[in-house]
Copies of this chain bind each other. A is one copy, B any other.
Amino acid sequence: MKLDILGSGPQRTSTGTRGETVPTVPSAETAADTVDVTSLLERGRTLATPVLRAAVDRLAPPMDTVAAYHFGWIDAAGNPSDGDGGKAVRPALALLSAEAAGAAPEVGVPGAVAVELVHNFSLLHDDLMDGDEQRRHRDTVWKVHGPAQAILVGDALFALANEILLEIGTVEAGRATRRLTTATRALIDGQAQDISYEHRERVTVEECLEMEGNKTGALLACAVSIGAVLGGADDRTADILEKYGYHLGLAFQAVDDLLGIWGDPDATGKQTWSDLRQRKKSLPVVAALAAGGPASERLGDLLAADAKSSDFDSFSEEEFAARAALIEEAGGREWTAEEARRQHTIAIEALDTVQMPDRVRAQLVALADFVVVRKR
């Protein structure tokens, strides 16, 4: 049992130290325990990255350079860099997706690349809209190259994603592009909800989950169906794979929300208390506010005052730490850890309703386990 991230219960999470192992999933023993997730992620990266780089090379200057900076292939001065290209969960899923339909993993590569392009289109635009200055331990594109390039290169990556798929020219490629478009629309809906929630005093847990399903669930779902669709899978199979991916995405996001408050900046590449600084109505916050009780009420009063405060931008570490402690005391941290476990379970159970090679099934389970134990 390797899963040890979401904590084994309240007694673990009550220490609340930032950067410590966060919250936990005790899940059933499966063949997943023998899967080497690092190799799976590595395979996704190895097969998809050259095709992704070739796609980005199609962009006209200076967009190719700006995109290469965003992906971490060069630094701000234009020198080659082996920067952090992210966890590469989506490419790994897209290749397994092809295999789930009985196709070779290579069949999933254009899907992996298209999903990565859409994911990074959304990062470029979201970082600008949200005013985020850091991503993957480096200054964001709008900080380095200006807002216009962030908009433009984001647009270009979105267009490129469709181009990569449609140039395959098959009926399957058209179906895959349609699924990617649906996921992209959900992604945009989620960002719209995220922005509007930041201006509201209260957001319900249901609204937050819907937003996170749009922002994270939909594209992970597409990553898990796109390879299968390119490999000729029918819509029912693709839909079930998407169900696994969607709930995996919700588990992923619940963990992200925990890391966004209690994550170790050295591991996440974000500022301390990152989500609190941005007034994000993330799951721990909305769950804490919905919980009731003295800590919940004190937190509510504090956040309401913060929303009107002109000093917010100069808050000290201690002021954010105090808010994090109240979120934890009101139960928001444990509720979110439990939600991650719940979504992880739904994701894995969805796989039971579709036929696929045992090895692929074990690998998908192992990836789901990985998603909830990661620290960055």
Contact = CB atoms under 8 A, between A and B. Distances in A.
Interface string A331-352: 0000000000000000000000
Interface in A139-193: 147-148, 151-152, 154-156, 158-160, 162-163, 166-167, 169, 171, 173-174, 177-178, 181-182, 184-185, 188-189, 191-193
Contact of A181 (B60, B128, B162, B192): B162
Contact of A188 (B159, B166, B178): B159
A163 B192 contact: no
A286 to B, nearest CB: 19
A62 interface: yes
A125 interface: yes
Contacts of A171: 171, 174
A129 interface: yes
A155 B196 contact: no
A191 B121 CA distance: 17
Nearest to A150: B151
Contact of A155 (B178, B182, B188, B193): B188
B158 A62 contact: no
Interface string A12-53: 000000000000000000000000000000000000000000
Given A62-B196, A185-B156, A192-B60, A151 B166 contact: no
A217 B75 CA distance: 35
A321 interface: no
Contacts of A189: 60, 63
A323 to B, nearest CB: 25
**Interface residues of A toward B: which range?**
35 or more
Interface in A53-95: 60, 62-63
A151 B147 CA distance: 11
A195 interface: yes
Contact of A166 (B128, B169, B181, B192): B181
Contact of A147 (B129, B182, B185): B129
B62 A155 contact: no
A147 B131 CA distance: 11
Contacts of A191: 152
A160 B178 CA distance: 11
Nearest to A214: B60
A171 B169 CA distance: 9
Contacts of A125: 151-152, 155
A174 B163 CA distance: 11
A151 B129 CA distance: 8
A192 B129 contact: no
A70 to B, nearest CB: 15
A103 B60 CA distance: 37
8 contacts: A129-B152, A152-B188, A152-B192, A159-B181, A159-B184, A162-B177, A162-B178, A162-B181
